[in-house]
Amino acid sequence: MAEERVSVAAREDHWPRAPKVVGLGAPISVRILLDASEVTFIRSRLLLEIDHHVLQAPGAASGTAATLTEWAEEVETLEGMLRALDRHNAGAVEVLWPTSVAHDILRGALSDALHELGDCDVNACAPEELSGLLDAAHACLRTWAGFKAVDLGGLE
């Protein structure tokens, strides 16, 4: 009986009752509640994606007007996603992002958080640093799991 209570408590601790990700319109867009601990990793991923898009800009001579317009819209979308994060003020932030773009950002943020956690030497890192990295990785995982449930048409 005691084991059952511990097991339920552990599940409740790892998977919140309120969904972190809600799909809107098939889902064309997703509403995501980001924890403060994961925002740094997500912001870094967005900045990398913006830099990548800027470097991939079609040349004015070789690119068609449609290609240039599409590229500009993609950059504007990413910059809008970054502006949504700027509303973050040391707490959770809620964003509304296009599903197709959020996929790579959230997956990359989780990968980065896990990589940084793996690189932390437990003998050299302060317990507070390890705890912060664990919190961030856990938040990124919960967001990714919620996103995948919505993106695959499931329920979180």
- Phi and psi (nearest 5°) for 89? -135, 70
User: Pick the residue with more confidence: 30 or 58?
Assistant: 30
CA 75 – CA 49 distance, rounded (Å): 9
Residue with tokens 């990359």: 108
Contact assessment for residue 68 and residue 60, using Cβ atoms and an 8 Å cutoff: yes
- Residue ranges in 86-153 assigned as alpha helix (H): 99-119, 127-151
Residue boundaries of the structural domains of the chain? 27-151
Express each pLDDT in 46-66 by its tens digit. 999 999 988 888 875 566 666
3-state secondary structure of 151: helix
Question: Is 147 a residue whose pLDDT tops 50?
Answer: yes
Express each pLDDT in 110-135 by its tens digit. 999 999 999 988 889 899 999 999 99
Chain-wide mean pLDDT for the chain? 82
Q: What is the pLDDT of residue 46?
A: 97
pLDDT tier, 28 (very low <50, low <70, confident <90, very high otherwise)? confident
CA 119 – CA 133 distance, rounded (Å): 10
Please tell me the pTM assigned to this model.
0.77
Contact assessment for residue 34 and residue 42, using Cβ atoms and an 8 Å cutoff: yes
The vertex-52 CA angle with 33 and 60, nearest 5°, equals 125
